[in-house]
């Protein structure tokens, strides 16, 4: 038995060295050489300042910006001591879910000056799985065009054209869903505004 335990300890040490030290260091070397931008977290800078990652959503709630999907994790900011990433984990018969969805739908209708029974895009009322979903559906982006254009006092067509430029089709034409990256769209919106003024 003692012999067996010593054997197991020697095995654990050898495999820790190979799979826990050599392997991740080798992958890091390859990754940092071939895909530096992605390996460091797909960081986005504006005027030399780090403003986020193109893969992680951040909160936008002012009328001049496109809004991301609801987050059950305060967009990973750690506010209120919540988890850095989380879905709501509310089941289909949860009263809390019902309240959240109705509150979100009402807020959307009010902000966009719509009737109390007007349809709203599903991804803007349901919280994402990670709380950090960087995308919204193209329908959700188009839904917000009129509000953003009015708040920025620019022609709707101009904002709509920008949105269409940011619609990513399914990858390779068939994988996944069409989507719009909210952070990149908002940064482009700011850049376009700065250019004009």
Partner 1 sequence: MTFNEILQITLFFGIGIALTPVLGRFMARVFNGERTFLHPLLLPVERLVYRLTGVDPAEEMSSVRYLWSVAVMTTVGFASLMAILMTQKWLPLNTQGLDNLSWHLAFNTAWSFTCNADWQSYSGEAVMTYLSQTLGLSVHQFISGASGLAVLVAVGRALARASVKSIGNFWVDLTRCTLYIVVPLSVLWAIPLVWQGVPQTWKAYPTASLVEPYTTQVQKVDDKGNPVTTSVQKVDDKGKPVVGADGKTVMVDQPVMVDQRVETQPLPVGPVASFESCKQLFTNGGGWYGVNSAHPYENPTPLADFLEMLAIIVVPMAQVYMFGLLIGNRRHAWTLFAVMLGLYVLSFAVAWHYEAQPNPVVDNIMPNMEGKETRFGVMNSVLWGISCTAIDNGSVNSMHDSWMPLAGMMPMWNILIGEMLFGGIGCGVYCMLFHVLITVFIAGLMIGRTPEYLGKKLGAWEATWAVIGVLVPNAACLIPTAISVVLPAGVASMNNAGPHGLSEVLYAFGEAANNNGSAFAGLNANVPWYDVTLGIAIIIGRFAPIAAALAIVGRLASKKTVEASAGTLPVHGWTFGLTLAGVIIVVAALTFFPALCLGPLLEHGLMQAGRAF
Distance from the Cα of residue 70 to its chain's centroid = 10
Residue 59 binds partner 1, judged by CB under 8 A: yes
Q: Quote the tokens at residue 189.
A: 């919106």
Residues numbered 78-117 forming contacts with partner 1, rule: CB under 8 A = 78-81, 83-95, 97-98, 101-102, 105
Nearer to partner 1, 131 or 144 (CB): 131
> Which ranges constitute the DSSP H helices of 43-176?
95-111, 122-125, 138-152, 156-166
Distance CA 130, CA 98 (A): 20
Residues numbered 161-180 forming contacts with partner 1, rule: CB under 8 A = 170-172, 174-177, 179
Number of C-beta neighbours around residue 100 at 10 A:
18
Exposed/middle/buried for residue 42 (C-beta within 10 Å: 0-12, 13-18, 19+)? middle
Hunting for tokens 């260091």 — which residue is that? 25
Residue 49 binds partner 1, judged by CB under 8 A: yes
Residues numbered 17-46 forming contacts with partner 1, rule: CB under 8 A = 18-21, 23-24, 26-28, 30-32, 34-35, 38-44, 46
Nearer to partner 1, 19 or 165 (CB): 19
Nearer to partner 1, 6 or 161 (CB): 6
Site string (117-146) toward partner 1, x via CB under 8 A: ---x-xx-xxxxxxxxxxxxx---------
């Amino acid at each position: 038995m003692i012999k067996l335990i010593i054997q197991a300890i020697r095995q654990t040490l050898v495999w820790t060295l190979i799979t826990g030290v050599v392997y991740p260091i080798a992958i890091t070397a390859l990754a940092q050489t071939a895909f530096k931008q992605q390996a460091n977290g797909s960081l986005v800078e504006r005027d030399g300042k780090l403003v986020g990652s193109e893969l992680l959503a951040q909160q936008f709630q002012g009328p001049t910006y496109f809004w991301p999907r609801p987050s059950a994790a305060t967009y990973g900011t750690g506010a209120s001591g919540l988890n850095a990433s989380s879905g709501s984990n509310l089941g289909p018969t949860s009263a809390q879910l019902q309240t959240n969805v109705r509150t979100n739908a009402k807020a959307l209708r009010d902000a966009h000056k719509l009737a109390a029974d007007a349809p709203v895009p599903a991804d803007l009322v349901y919280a994402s799985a990670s709380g950090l979903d960087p995308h919204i559906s193209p329908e959700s982006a188009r839904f917000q065009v009129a509000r953003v254009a009015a708040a920025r006092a620019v022609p709707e067509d101009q904002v709509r054209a920008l949105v269409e430029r940011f619609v990513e089709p399914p990858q390779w034409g068939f994988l996944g869903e069409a989507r719009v990256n909210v952070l990149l769209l908002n940064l482009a919106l700011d850049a376009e505004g700065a250019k004009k003024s």
